[in-house]
Amino acid sequence: MKRTVSSLMSRDVCTIGMDESLAAIEQRLGERRLSWAPVLEGPGTVIGVISVADLLRLRTQGGDAQAARAWQVCSYKPLTVQADADLAEVAREMVERHVHHVVVADRGAVVGVLSSLDFVREFAQLLKETPA
């Protein structure tokens, strides 16, 4: 049976405005215990993703988290798929493109997110259910 992205994606999505300060982003991601979020230009237009690694890179380079904005440090052109996309195909593309984050969109709206950690959790559950 073919599985789709919707079977594994997280639906509770935290999005970031492209002009938000990195200090505000750090706080929001910390409060929600997230490691990344999609960056939007206006309602629904995904321009990139920002991760804790991006925030850490800015900090280690001496950047000012109050002055820096999401658009300055996010990774552009993220892998964006539809909820009914084949999960195996998306996994293959993630490996080929060396990305850990996928934005799930439907008619211009972000409806979910998927990360490599979601695949690891799924794999761990399968191992748990498989008899030794």
> Among 109, 118, 51, which Cα is nearest to 87's?
118
Burial class (CB in 10 A: 0-12, 13-18, 19+), 82: middle
Instruction: Indicate the pTM of the whole model.
Output: 0.86
Q: How much is the average pLDDT of 56-63?
A: 90
One-letter amino acid of 34: L
Name the fold adopted by 5-129.
CBS-domain (3.10.580)
pLDDT tens per residue across span 18-56 = 999 999 999 999 999 999 999 999 877 899 999 999 999
pLDDT tens per residue across span 108-121 = 789 999 999 998 88
As given in the structure block, the two tokens for residue 85 are: 């996309």
